[in-house]
Amino acid sequence: MNVLISLVVVACLLIVGMFGATIAPQWIFAVALPYAAVAVFAIGLAVRIMKWAGVPVPFRIPTTCGQQRSLPWIRQQKLENPSNKLQVLGRMALEILFFRSLARNTRTELRKERGLVYGTDLFLWIGALAMHWALAVVLIRHLRLFTDPVPAFVTFTEKADGFLEIGLPPVNITTVVLLCALLYLLYRRLANARVRYISLPEDYFALFLLLGIAGSGAWMRHISHTDVAGVKELALSLVHFSPMVPTGISPLFFGHLFLVCVLLMYFPLGKLVHGPGVFLSPTRNMANNNRAVRHVNPWDYPVKVHTYEEYEDEFREKMIAAGLPVDKE
């Protein structure tokens, strides 16, 4: 049910984008919406991050995943259990660039004869890593449309990506990887009963949306070509704030663009904020050096305690009888 709702919603969005542009004035879909989407994305994300950042971190609570720094002759695992900022930076880099924690993933199975067995399970890690990295490369490639002259690193990325030189224009590896990874993540969500059980409509929606964007993009490149020059003209005009909509751009492009706009606007509202969020995660971005450097809680307040005097008042006679020293005889 959740799956169907999400699929239908994304399909409708695609159709709205494709044909909306032909029915309604083009500037709505080609100009106003992209501007609005970028604004919502940027402001929304900034607000979201500022909201997080505005909440204090009262205690230093890193999850330690290796040997602490203690005695000089014991080797500290600096990236798993950092004790200073530099090491934290290293840990965060591993986490953000390579999804370190996900790479630990295991599968637990209860077997009749052997009891519990644990196997390494890297499919999710590979799928997630492939999806995110491919998406990053695809985004870099798209810079070609927004720049003139095109920067060297964009051209280089594109060349490298298409080095197989299959087809014309050449098939980019990341296109294939992105689509496969998204399909795998969707398959996993559906096929794994446990993951299906915890999934919300939003989880499918995000996947379908990305699939719709990647699929329509690939379609335009390889199957029904759109007027790339026209698209670039439009993109550049938007960047230079002198919007101009050339004619002859296919409806599919507007479908693609519309989905991208939806993604941009949805991004700061939903679960996709996990990207920026991970930077702020207190169990990962803090050093385990609490005993060496004091951490201050900004909202610390006094609490009611049971003082030694109250304690001794209650037990004084018995303490004296037991030969224990007391403060007040």
Partner 1 sequence: MSRFDEPDYYKKEELVQIQPKPPRTPWMETPVDFRPGTYIYPGKAKNLKVLDLPNPRDWAVTDVDWQLPEGWQKTILEGMADRLKRFRSFKLFMDICVRCGACADKCHFFIGSGDPKNMPVLRAELLRSVYRKDFTALGKVFGKLAGGRELTVDVLKEWFYYFYQCTECRRCSVFCPYGIDTAEITMMGRELLGLLGLYVNWVIEPVANCFRTGNHLGITPHGLADTLEFMTEDIEEATGIKIDVPINKKGAEILFFTPSGDYVAAPGIYTCMSYMLLFNELGVDYTWSTYASDGGNFGLFTSHEAMKRLNAKVYAEAKRLGVKWIMGGECGHMWRVVNQYMDTMNGPADFLEVPKSPVTGTVFENARSTKAVHIMEFMSDVIRHGKLKLDPSRNDHIRVTFHDSCNPARAMGILEEPRYVIRHACNHFYEMPENTIREQTFCCGGGAGLGTDENMEMRLRGGMPRGNAVRYVQERYGVNQLAAMCAIDRATLPTVCDYWAPGVQVTGISELVANATVFKGEKRRTHNLRLEPIPGMGAEDEESEADLVGAGAPGEGQGGMGHE
Which residues within the stretch 118-157 sit at the binding site for partner 1 (CB under 8 A)?
118, 124, 128
Give the nearest distance from C-beta 61 to partner 1 in angstroms.
5
What x-and-dash track marks residues 29-48 binding partner 1 by CB under 8 A?
-------------------x
> Which string of DSSP letters, residue by residue, matches 274-325?
HHHHHHT-TTTSS-S-TTTS----TT--------HHHHHHHHHHHHHHTT--
278: closest CA among 156, 96, 37?
Answer: 96
Give the nearest distance from C-beta 42 to partner 1 in angstroms.
17
Single out the segment in contact with partner 1 by CB under 8 A; choices: 17-25, 143-151, 218-226, 266-274. Answer: 266-274
Give the nearest distance from C-beta 161 to partner 1 in angstroms.
26
Provide the Cα torsion 216, 218, 224, 227; round to 10°. 90
193 touching partner 1, by CB under 8 A: yes
Using CB under 8 A as the binding rule, the residues of this chain from 284 to 323 that contact partner 1 are 284, 288-297, 299-300, 303-308, 311-312, 314-315, 318-319, 321-323
Name the phi and psi angles at 111, rounded to 5.
-110, 150
Q: Cβ closer to partner 1: 125 or 254?
A: 125
Q: Cβ closer to partner 1: 53 or 164?
A: 53
> Which string of DSSP letters, residue by residue, matches 109-165?
EEETTTEEEEEE--HHHHHHHHHHHHHHHHHHHHHHHH-SSPPHHHHHHHHHHTTT-
Distance, in Å, from the CA atom of 253 to the CA atom of 218, rounded to the nearest integer, reads 11
Distance, in Å, from the CA atom of 116 to the CA atom of 104, rounded to the nearest integer, reads 18
* Exposed/middle/buried for residue 131 (C-beta within 10 Å: 0-12, 13-18, 19+): buried
Number of chain positions touching partner 1 (CB under 8 A): 95
87 touching partner 1, by CB under 8 A: no
Q: Cβ closer to partner 1: 115 or 248?
A: 115
75 touching partner 1, by CB under 8 A: yes
Q: Cβ closer to partner 1: 168 or 198?
A: 198
Q: Cβ closer to partner 1: 57 or 236?
A: 57
Q: Cβ closer to partner 1: 39 or 229?
A: 39
Please select the residue that binds partner 1; options are 26, 84, 105, 147, rule is CB under 8 A. Answer: 105
Single out the segment in contact with partner 1 by CB under 8 A; choices: 58-66, 136-144, 167-175, 210-218. Answer: 58-66
Name the phi and psi angles at 287, rounded to 5.
-85, 145
| Contact (Cβ atoms closer than 8 angstroms) between residue 8 and residue 16 | no
328 touching partner 1, by CB under 8 A: no
Give the nearest distance from C-beta 4 to partner 1 in angstroms.
12
Query: What is the three-class DSSP state of 226?
Result: coil
Beta bridge partners of 117: 109
Please select the residue that binds partner 1; options are 12, 39, 63, 160, rule is CB under 8 A. Answer: 63
Distance, in Å, from the CA atom of 160 to the CA atom of 167, rounded to the nearest integer, reads 15
